[in-house]
Structure 1
Amino acid sequence: MIVISRIDLRGTQQDPRQALPRAETDVSAAVEHVRPLCEDVEHRGVDALIELTERFDGVRLTGIRVPGAALDKALADLDPAVRAALEESIDRARKVHRDQRRADHTTRVAPGGTVTEKWIPVDRVGLYVPGGRAVYPSSVVMNVVPAQEAGVRSLAVTSPPQKEFGGLPHPTVLAACALLGVEEVYSVGGAQAVAMFAHGAGECARADMVTGPGNLWVAAAKRHLKGTIGIDAEAGPTEIAILADSTADADYVAADLISQAEHDVVAASVLVTDDTDLADRVEERLAERVPATRHSDRVREALSGPQSGIVLVDDVEQGLAVVDAYAAEHLEIMTADAAATAARVRNAGAIFVGDFSPVSLGDYAAGSNHVLPTGGCACHSGGLSVQTFLRGVHIVDYGRDALADVAHHVVALAEAEDLPAHGEAVTARTGGHRPDAG
């Protein structure tokens, strides 16, 4: 039997954030566990990485870098159907991410005074590709493509070593790296991988930024090392929310809830609907589908956990308020006018519109990026994109007269802030006079 909780918000004006299901994670507590690991990597480099890898992954490495021959072999041995799928995924991702590149822009603020916003890529990035219960060559694509399209000059991928593959990352992950032309790949996972990029170790030079999803320990290391290294986000357990009304296909809804629950026992699958009949039908389809799926035990635990549930609302209007409050990583809209409803959503990592845009399409081949904010962070953050790897730098270019024309305003504000030397830095150049003051 599939047990998924129901939360009834009908007829209530309460803040839905207090009632909605959410995975329970304590990144702050995890930081205290990863702190000594990160410090060990900082001080002992590769030796620490090898010891930590043996402790946590059960693999004794002789070196942390994946040999080029292993990348070549992984690509040569790759199933042709998987290679074709990866090539299509890469092509579609490039189309979308290439269009995200911003152009430099110069604004003429005053005669003789301009400010140019120049977009400069990060010099070096470390890209984390998770391991664990599943294999994620798609995460290689989602990390590498936007970094390449941003113009990042140096990038490296790391992924946890796998005992069954001689201490190398999964060969499909390596093949994806080879397809994308990535030559610098490491067999390091967990918090220690983030520390490797933050401090450098052996052949791995220090990076300016680390991106990519990972488990609780990766998130904790990102939090601990933020500032030493730039991060994209602290990824938590994956989640899907579906806003559906009576027009939705219960089988599609059930299939999509299951697809997300397949990731992990703490994955969140949430249905928000104003139709109790749909809720009943979805539960019936879950009861049929879950036993038949390969990872049924994992799916069943995820669906019955406190992070998953069916939320009943009065109407689609209230449903929109609920999904905005939830701010899901992935949000599917299955309503009578799905496009119009989707256009009103404000908080979601990615929005999937209608019956034929399931989350799994976005995971692999829609062209969108699947590295997205979790845990409600979609109310203030977006997913991985070309912009993640770009820095907007303002270039200020004023001539003598342009500076003199605004000098009295600068002096007035400097005095108001009790920072007179700021004003003196201007009057030293202008003599305290505007150009038309004689």
Structure 2
Amino acid sequence: MIATLLFVVFLVMMLVGVPIGAALGLAGATAIALANLDAQWFGLLAVPQNFYAGLGKYPLLAIPMFVLVGSIFDRSGVALRLVNFAIAIIGRGPGMLPVVVIAVAMLMGGISGSGPATAAAVGGVMIATMTRSGYPPAFSASVVGAAASIDILIPPSIAFIIYSVLVPGASVPAMFAAGMLPGLLVGLALMVPSVWLSRRHHLGQQVAQLPRPPFWASLREASWGLAAPVLILGGMRAGWFTPTEAAVVAVFYGLFVGMVIYRTIKVRDLFHILRESGELSAIILLVVALAGIFAYSLSTLGIVDPVTQAIVNSGLGEYGVLALLILMLVAVGMFLDGISIFLIFVPLLLPIVNFYHWDPVWFGVLLTLMVALGQFTPPIAVNLMVSCRIAGVRMEESVRWVLWLMAALLCVLLLVIIFPSLALWLPTRLGY
């Protein structure tokens, strides 16, 4: 009865518009209170204890820093310089600007790890350029929104940090390494329908008046941005710093590039950057803390084991269960953001992962691929929401283009299921 009430309270609050974090925390606290009526107020002590426990994890310290890194590089002009360098290599021919968008988003993914931040940075530079070149704004917004979803796969990734906190046996370095190859595959897969659609519908024909940037000058300007992923990932691999320390190093590197090299960030801009990053970090960590209360109520009420037994005894078999989970999570991804999906479903799915002896690192990559898909799948689609706002179009106008990009990402998801080594080869090779 209390278990049913837990989900009913959560769903009702979600439907009436209560923020996801508050809905998780209030539903969990209600269930804990009802389960400890005899203990009077003492049972409710579990609420603040689990609120603190949800935050008291060392890897979570990296999240505010990587959010700050994304804001710093967004304002420093790195995205514009990376775009010019990519155009210098690829050119502006028919179908080439979408390739530039995806390539730059992949590079930005190695810096910030935040999809909406990359959608804002790349979209702010590229959507206007693509519109001048003859691409419909809805198409441009679709490509930017889909490309930005790669950021949670290519390290450093906030989603991987949260997953590693929730799942024993999936360390942050292992998850970072596991996401690299699938992230590159997603980027290549998105390029295929982007170029095909551009050429099929004769998009991007108005490029004659837009000159191609000189290669060496563009390389020199972009070199500081290109060096950021090498510093972050190379430093972790060399053992110079942990992922959490790498985030701090990246912050100081970004400030050095923005304030000393490019001089696009002034001292007066720091307050706005810190405030913007602090607000976003507070939202993420508050949801994480409140989800800890929800997860505690799930475990103490004994909900997880019956759900696990019902699924594994359903007669679907291992791959049938996996297909069911994919369909469920893709559908959920249309309405919830990635962090919420991790916090709500990982505690429920972990016993299933253990039952079938699935590698937790491999499953984390699968789950992150599904979350990436949800980031540009209407109606919520946080990345697509940002890019559509920049393009000045309604999200409904992008659906005809987004469906092709969704199909490309689903192909990569299928490949990772069939060939787990796509996710596991690099962490195994690196000894994680």
Check whether TM > 0.5: no
The answer to which structure has the higher strand fraction is: 1
Structure number with larger C-alpha Rg: 1
Q: Normalization by structure 1: what TM-score?
A: 0.27
The answer to which structure has the higher helix fraction is: 2
Whose relative contact order is higher, 1 or 2, with alpha carbons under 8 Å and at least 6 apart? 2
Q: Normalization by structure 2: what TM-score?
A: 0.28
